Amino acid sequence: MTEITSAMDIDVDENHPRKPKDVAGGFGAPPQSKATPWVEKYRPQSLDDVAAHRDIVATIDRLTNENKLPHLLLYGPPGTGKTSTILAVARKLYGPKYRNMILELNASDDRGIDVVRQQIQDFAKCPELRTPLTSIRNIT
The secondary structure of 69-138 as a DSSP string is --------STTSSHHHHHHHHHHHHHGGGHHHH-----TTS---HHHHHHHHHHHHT-HHHHHHHHHHHH
Angle between helices 54-65 and 82-94 (to 10 degrees): 20
- Most confident region among 1-5, 27-31, 98-102, 136-140 by mean pLDDT: 98-102
Q: What percent of the chain has pLDDT over 70?
A: 63
Does residue 68 surpass a pLDDT of 90? yes
Determine which helix (DSSP H) or strand (DSSP E) holds 5, and give its type and residue range: none
Task: Answer whether 99's CB lies under 8 Å from 91's CB.
Answer: no
pLDDT of residue 31: 55
Task: Answer whether 40's CB lies under 8 Å from 58's CB.
Answer: no
- Per residue in 97-137, pLDDT (tens digit) is 999 898 887 766 667 888 888 888 888 887 665 444 444 44
pLDDT of residue 90: 95
